[in-house]
Structure 1
Amino acid sequence: MPDTKKIKNTKIAFIMLSIMAVAGVLSFTTRTFAQDKPAPASGMERVIKGTENWNGKYDISISKFLKNIGKSTGIYKMIHQPTAEELALEKAQAEAQLAAEENNPFDEAPKAPGWQSLIMLAIGFLIIYLAVGKGFEPLLLIPIGFGTVLVNIPGAAMGDAPHGMLHIIYSAGVGNEFFPMLIFMGIGAMTDFGPLIANPKTALLGGAAQFGVFFTLFGVSCMNAFLGTDYTMLQASAISIIGGADGPT
């Protein structure tokens, strides 16, 4: 009889070699078709574009971290008299946020054709079925499925600003992050911490799960350095979020 373990290892090795071969081809073609691109100004720019202009602004500092935590408490607000510069900065930030909300590009986004809405309706019902019928992450998939169905009902305009029902709900609690806070508080209240209390070392699993964020960011940096890609820090951070252990991810 054939050795199934050996066959499995051979398949895994073949897949890994195939991925490396594809990466090598992409690296060659990227560098070949980008010969007219100017050389990076520094080695750091080759890793994450734009980081050479930080000038220490985003460097990790424990003292700065603790100071920011202290400033976010109500006690600091009680004993600290804000200066004119701080008041002007808060006012400018509030005005910038208000301007960003008024100039929301999604408000004038083109509407999807009817057949695309039908596809999204089918996907929404499928998500609800998986949550209710199969028990797949019901706390997440049920609201996602219902939201997908409601926003794609033809002619209902539930997601349109400013009077759509879903847009009103979004403005009332999602955009200001009030509802997410309540949701995670509720999930925390429903969590059974008995196994964690009985075996505290399992808490390391939660910390290790978040290592995926940093590992993915490192992977994006390697892609910039060796495959010739050109991801910025914002793009690399967005990709890295996928590495987190949050819900079904």
Structure 2
Amino acid sequence: MRLLSIEDERSTAAYLYKGLTEHGHVVDTAFDGVEGLHLATSGHYDLILLDVGLPGASGWDVLQGIRTQHQTPVFFLSGRDEVEDRVKGLLLGADDYMVKPFAFSELLARIQVVARRRAPMSAPEGLLRVGELEVDTARRRVKRGKQRIDLTTQEFVLLDYLARHVGQVVSRTLIAQNVWDMHFDSDTNVVDVAVRRLRAKVDEPFPEKLIHTVRGVGYVLEHQNA
């Protein structure tokens, strides 16, 4: 995989570069937010590792800039360990948030999860269909009618999870565990925000809504006109 590391601490940047290249990844490094945003939006990367406290532009600003042009997976690597910071990063569209110091083996494992999600499958699983919505699990493509819908990695995994449980109500806890591989406090609205973003792409442009809220429980994907 080709990775971009946006990290102003030179020792941490060198540590990431050495460890990731030793495991076969190609790594570019930026030491401030301005340079990082330029590289992230002008190049092609499989994943971006992003610090929060950066000179020039904060990690929050860099992520927002990336999301205006690309849906590349972004991992925050930050010394900020407050729940509010982790939630903010995820709400802004990050795919993961790891707190420094972190175990390098865990970082590699999470990168491998993204790689598995993005890699073509050896045997196509076919299409998951819900009404006019088609989820191509092999090519990671989504269409509704004749219109192609571009999703982030996180959005695709969320839609794929809902589509594999079509007609079943899935709780916010199960969504959090299966989409992010993490446990979220019930007082946060990370799942709700993620579903809202998915709805904006999958449902809002179309007259029939497929993603439905079950109050107090979670969400269900279903074609109610069937």
TM-score, normalised via structure 1 length: 0.19
TM-score, normalised via structure 2 length: 0.20
Structure with greater strand percent: 2
Which has the greater radius of gyration?
Answer: 1
Structure with greater contact order relative to length (CA < 8 Å, sep ≥ 6): 1
